[in-house]
Structure 1
């Protein structure tokens, strides 16, 4: 029987790993691999010694979006329930997200839709916001929590992730959210990374660009399995 201590430890180590990645990657966001290697190779520690590290939506999202499940069950929670929770935990254009403006920042655009009574999932849809806005990476970044809440229950994880991702994203943006959540849910029992990714891939829309990209990445890895320079 799985103990609370085991569940706690595995979620904690996963969450710690994500936050290490946030802290490590923030100074080089949008850099190419060759640019990173040119400036920092080899990387043996954090690249910048911050005296303070500001709140980051990569962590804020998974932490606070899960609050909606305090008041709803897996079966009855809706996209609009999740949208209402977002409005409750996100300050008025302060902190949490990048507030880059309507039609520029995906989350800002969806948030403005919500406060102007455009309900989810239309709030994040490509028909409302355009494909360029709706397919950004936020849906993927914010979805860890649904995997943690549904360990070894990928169908529940993917349902929750799809609902929350659709508040702010659509199409491939939503597929990314589903993929991360189902990977985390499956990782409770699947330890091999390739098997995990292949299994999670089966839960996505197979004709989506996102699924095609995952297949291409797997093929590329099989061609160069021990070549980090690639």
Structure 2
């Protein structure tokens, strides 16, 4: 498998290019966010006084930086969820839905799906850069963390958008060809998803010789969005493109990002202006292009015409700065320096060599190795990241070091009195020893588990095989439910070992059947 080396000097330049490009694009597009129609923007339209505009696209990633500085490679959706509740202030759209679910005890990935009309919107793909920057030239790593990030407040297309850009941006540290980078990004998401369809739509329009204005019209007809009407009066909404379902915005806006990039034909300013002039989520589309081009060319490639008016500062919009617990970078330089210091411990010594002259070097993948691929588990099984995506929003993982567990809710966590609710428990061995696993349920008074509250099973482990076991349980609530929320616990114990795995299940009482289309995908 081919690898190439990224020097510290190259890495620092690409990091600064990423975040400066992000700041520039976000500042350019911010005044036109959530507006529909063709715009005529060629440069900043606001008075900047040497500083950028604040933007949630960058804000949230500064909080994630703090989480990784504390928890390193162990950071996951649950940790990021706690950071959401502690340090992210907005309650709009998918942000508010995810936070509201977690306050009720509904954990990721359920938190990104349940009662979330904006689960397919743009709030996840705008924060892909931090994972790409921490895993340069290693998209197989970047997508793992982008997934953990996205499922807190998104599902489906909203998750695919962040995965696509995290893979692409990570690969951009090692590859500069636009077509190859798009192909790499697409390899990590389902071929038949709408994010992939929107990307292909933009590319096809360009290859057929359509103008970018015509490409936008085609895209908005094939993948209708509603984001561009959010800040407009009804009578001012153009009628030349359809209005899509509320919250179904990621495909169209990912497509607009690709339109800006390909039609800009390598020109930084032209690319971010075309994306902005397409309307919709303008700060997000332009900022994402800016970060991609900044990674590819490094800080040296960004014209001073664009960087000088905003300087090096970072301005925040939606971070809780009043409570202790985070240190927010004040400049692009500080952000870059902190990532540079963090990366060796995050990637580990097998990827990052700290014993070289002039700092450290990072071993990156190259060529076909940058794409999503099958990974050998053992002599009988291979897997890929796409299998993880295919699990959907109802499978909740738990890692207990010597074994890993997954709870498959099968549907949203709504219950009714005396009505059976089925869940699946899957346990996988994480060590090369056989284990006996004892299962013990803790349920509210009057509830029952039909298969029995106590059981045991053997986890095999032989000739490097990964032993696993799947059980199905039927939970029957009591005849009278007086509370709105019920907490159950599954206790997993490995015989002869100190590990006890406690798995919480939160179920929500709904006295009436949920509306059609809500209970399941």
Q: Does 2:145 align with 1:147?
A: no
Give ranges in structure 1 of 5+ residues lacking alignment: none
Distance 1:53 1:153, change over 3 A: closer
Q: Which has the higher helix share?
A: 1
> For residues 34 and 82 of structure 2, what CA distance do their matches in structure 1 show?
31
Residue 205 (structure 1) aligned to one of 182, 185, 190: 190
Q: How does 1:158-169 map to 2 (within 5 A)?
A: 158-169=143-154
Aligned to 2:175, the other structure's residue is in SS state: coil
What residue is the counterpart of 2:45 in the other structure?
Answer: 47
Q: CA RMSD in A?
A: 2.0
Q: How does 1:92-103 map to 2 (within 5 A)?
A: 94=89, 97=90, 99-100=91-92
Distance 1:88 1:8, change over 3 A: farther
Cα deviation, residue 123, structure 1: 1.1
Cα deviation, residue 181, structure 1: 0.7
Aligned to 1:2, the other structure's residue is in SS state: strand
Residue pair 2:23, 2:52 contacting (<8 A) in 1 also: no
Q: Does 2:158 align with 1:173?
A: yes
What residue is the counterpart of 1:117 in the other structure?
Answer: 105
Cα deviation, residue 214, structure 1: 1.1
Residue pair 2:27, 2:53 contacting (<8 A) in 1 also: no
> For residues 66 and 207 of structure 1, what CA distance do their matches in structure 2 show?
33
Residue 182 (structure 1) aligned to one of 164, 167, 171: 167
Residue pair 1:80, 1:121 contacting (<8 A) in 2 also: no
TM-score (norm 2): 0.38
Residue 129 (structure 1) aligned to one of 115, 122, 132: 115
TM-score (norm 1): 0.83
Cα deviation, residue 203, structure 1: 1.2
Cα deviation, residue 31, structure 1: 3.4
Aligned to 2:190, the other structure's residue is in SS state: coil
Residue 18 (structure 2) aligned to one of 11, 14, 18: 14
Q: Does 2:78 align with 1:80?
A: yes
Per-residue CA deviation, residues 147-177 of structure 1 (Å, 9 max, x unaligned), is: 1111111011111001110001000000001
Residue pair 2:24, 2:52 contacting (<8 A) in 1 also: no
Residue pair 1:65, 1:86 contacting (<8 A) in 2 also: no
Number of residues of Structure 1 aligned to a counterpart in Structure 2: 209
> For residues 193 and 172 of structure 1, what CA distance do their matches in structure 2 show?
22
What residue is the counterpart of 1:23 in the other structure?
Answer: 27
> For residues 121 and 6 of structure 2, what CA distance do their matches in structure 1 show?
37
Give ranges in structure 2 of 5+ residues lacking alignment: 215-521
Aligned to 2:6, the other structure's residue is in SS state: coil
Residue 107 (structure 1) aligned to one of 95, 99, 105: 95
Runs of 4+ residues over 6 Å off in structure 1: none
Cα deviation, residue 72, structure 1: 3.0
Residue 156 (structure 1) aligned to one of 125, 141, 158: 141
Cα deviation, residue 139, structure 1: 0.8
Cα deviation, residue 46, structure 1: 0.5
Q: Which has the higher strand share?
A: 2
> For residues 101 and 78 of structure 2, what CA distance do their matches in structure 1 show?
12
Q: Bigger relative contact order, structure 1 or 2, given CA contacts below 8 A and separation 6+?
A: 2
What residue is the counterpart of 1:221 in the other structure?
Answer: 206
Cα deviation, residue 50, structure 1: 4.3
Residue pair 2:137, 2:173 contacting (<8 A) in 1 also: yes
Residue pair 1:150, 1:157 contacting (<8 A) in 2 also: yes
Aligned to 1:72, the other structure's residue is in SS state: helix
What residue is the counterpart of 2:488 in the other structure?
Answer: none
Look at both structures and tell me which one has the larger radius of gyration over its CA atoms: 2
Cα deviation, residue 2, structure 1: 3.2
Aligned to 1:81, the other structure's residue is in SS state: helix
Aligned to 1:22, the other structure's residue is in SS state: helix
> For residues 10 and 48 of structure 2, what CA distance do their matches in structure 1 show?
32
Distance 1:115 1:55, change over 3 A: farther
Cα deviation, residue 217, structure 1: 1.4
Per-residue CA deviation, residues 55-87 of structure 1 (Å, 9 max, x unaligned), is: 32111012212322223343x433112212222
Distance 1:62 1:156, change over 3 A: same
